[in-house]
Amino acid sequence: MKRHSRQIGLVPSILLGIAASVLILIYVLWAAPAALGGTLSGMFRQPLLLLLNWLPIALLCAALGFALANPLYGSAAAGLVLGVMSLINRVKITVRSEPFVPRDIVLVKEAADAMGNYDLNLPWFQAGVLVLLLALFVAAGILLPPRRPEKRRGLLRALGCLLCLLLLVGLVAFAYSSDELYESFDRQTPHDVCSVSNELGFPYYFCYHFSTMDVAKPSGFDKIEAASWEGDYNDAPEAARLSVVFVMSEAFSDVFNGDVFDFPEGEHPMEVYNALAAGENAYAGHIVVPYFGGGTSDTEFDIATGMQTNLLNPNSPSLTSFRFVDRPLESLYRVFNSEGYTSCFMHPGDSWFYGREEVYQLLGAQEIYFADDMEGLEYKGSWVTDASFAKLIEQRFEAACESGVPDFTYAVTIQNHMAYTADKYGDYVCPRVETGVELPEEVQAALDVYAEGIRDANAMLGELTEFYSAQEEPVLLVFLGDHLPSLGDNRGGYSELGLPAADVTGAEDPFAAYTAPYLIWCNEAGAQLLDFDRAIEELELPESGLISACYLGAEILELTGRGEESNWFAYLNELRRELPVIHGGAYMDMDGRTFYELDGQQSELLSKLRCWTYYKMEYSTLPG
């Protein structure tokens, strides 16, 4: 058969493949939400970093080039995969302030379901450039096909493809996984994962994080020593027999308490919360949660178990703690269960989301309810209303009272979930939020819709406290947020409003983007039973009112007289008095001082937290 006159030889094919891989690298670095010039400038000062970003691209291009018998077709296929990944990374950074890492791949189902409810500002320009680049590769592949050997070409292609893939896997497993190599590169803001991802380059950063997909074994871990810290639940004769209700309100925050907002008298969205926080039988503070703009289940994990998501693998961002729960774990549910309480988890969402149904079984919740199990749910737009969910929480309390058994319930709302678009609630037009600054249209819309959710959350809080106030049975309510809302790409809403969470580097306040309010409130019967003011004082909470979310459950156990019932939760209360905030390599002490280096005693306490956490996650032998 006569060969096409434009067929090219081996060396030109290799050179074309290399050129295509370089173009893909430039595209991937350009697609990141950082200036390409700055990124390349930093890499030219560290040439090894440039090589580490190019190698996986080159090997994937080569492998697919062998498979498709054309280096440019292979580059197009590789470019499609890598280009889409880079666009996902861009969206995730701009919306969630977290890079795209391998662990996110297992969340495909959750992401696909959530996309239907999100109105993301997708990077269409970058996507269009990717399409043009891929079209260029395909056209060049048609015009310049490689000359193919006549004999054993199929075998040679298969061997070439396999060799490239094996080399890629080997590099990821043995070179890219090196912590020493990772730490050797200069990073201007090492505690800001988005900045680190941009500085090190998405390909290298992504490959490195294949090594952070497991719970990290801490330095100095001793299984026998960790096992000795465990113990059965101790009797707590002074424990108060009152019902305890946690209500985690989706994206609940107090951003509207900022001076930039101007609300007419009596129309402040946080009016109920603010009044209760300043009233009797109440304490208000803030928790530092794992993530910004999302991560509800991780805040649930931190509070319920006392472990900290961010410490399961300190080098891994975007870690989803529920994915690691594969054995029965100590939790608030088990402490209350041991005292004969009934216990329950409630959430008007899907049972499969984040694997919640299986996780809460392993955490010891006796009863678990999701939207499909609930009757009487009402909707605002496509979201279950806080008002109808509040009625179900009240019904749960009434049923427990009729049984004569105190109850522990943890309820998670869903109404104020992102995205905060003008059509979130259908035809309903949310009232405009007036501010002291002129806002872009999309930020104003997000603010108006988010404020509507906060009003409804406050109405829920008002309904619940009014209901519990009318009860003779003692009850303690903990009402809290799970994370700050995402108000525009790159925290745009916070920047426009001049709010502290706008600082993506955390240079001024490393905790500002990760705080959520919490309110502890008792009805009169509960306050008398606990001697509330004295009990709060004895908790010795920091003057700042700021604690890591992993301490909140232990705090409530101590408040109700159960502080020594569990060795684990007793230890957390001890650690809270020394390091009330631990987050991303930053710490805060009881005096409100923020620092990044620990002294000897603090290091020992934190080491024990990491080692004990690792033991629980890997070796827990609790009955199911």
Q: For the chain, which domains are there?
A: 10-212 (no CATH), 241-544 (3.40.720.10)
CA distance linking residue 509 with residue 504, whole number of Å: 10
| Helix intervals (H) in 531-597 | 532-538, 552-559, 567-578
pTM passes above 0.75: yes
Nearest to 382 by CA among 419, 345, 355: 419
CA distance linking residue 147 with residue 10, whole number of Å: 7
pLDDT at residue 1 in the model: 42
pLDDT at residue 2 in the model: 47
DSSP assignment string, 90-134: HHHHHHHS----GGGGGGHHHHHHHHTT------HHHHHHHHHHH
DSSP assignment string, 386-398: HHHHHHHHHHHHH
> What distances in angstroms separate CA 269 from CA 210, 258, 426, 466, one per listed residue?
43, 12, 21, 18
DSSP tag of 261: B
* CA angle, 513 then 515 then 517, to 5°: 145
DSSP tag of 240: -
pLDDT at residue 506 in the model: 78
Residues in the chain with pLDDT values less than 70: 1-5, 106-121, 148-152, 189-192, 317-319, 624
Q: Tokens representing 527?
A: 């306050």
DSSP tag of 246: E
CA distance linking residue 504 with residue 33, whole number of Å: 13
Q: Which residues pair with 480 in a beta bridge?
A: 248, 518
pLDDT at residue 624 in the model: 65
Query: What are the start-end ranges of the E strands in 372-514?
Result: 379-380, 383-384, 407-412, 475-481
DSSP tag of 148: P
pLDDT, tens digit (0-9, with 9 covering 90-100), for 464-498: 999 999 999 999 999 999 999 988 877 889 999 99
Helix axis angle for 71-96 and 193-200, nearest 10°, is 160
pLDDT at residue 334 in the model: 97
DSSP tag of 8: B
Q: How far apart are the first and last CA of the chain?
A: 70
3-state secondary structure of 181: helix
Contact 239, 559 (CB under 8 A): no
pLDDT at residue 260 in the model: 95
Which strand (E) or helix (H) includes residue 519? strand 515-522
CB atoms under 10 Å from CB of 208, counted, come to 23
pLDDT at residue 488 in the model: 81
Nearest to 486 by CA among 21, 38, 124, 95: 95
Contact 263, 256 (CB under 8 A): yes
CA distance linking residue 551 with residue 542, whole number of Å: 12
User: Which pairs from 110-114 meet CB under 8 Å and 24+ separation?
Assistant: 110/353, 110/354, 113/350, 113/353
DSSP assignment string, 331-351: -HHHHHHHTT-EEEEE-SS-T
Contact 415, 250 (CB under 8 A): yes
pLDDT at residue 110 in the model: 54
pLDDT at residue 119 in the model: 52
CB atoms under 10 Å from CB of 159, counted, come to 12
Q: Tokens representing 432?
A: 């405009």
Contact 106, 44 (CB under 8 A): no
Contacts with 441 (C-beta within 8 Å, 6 or more apart), sequence order: none
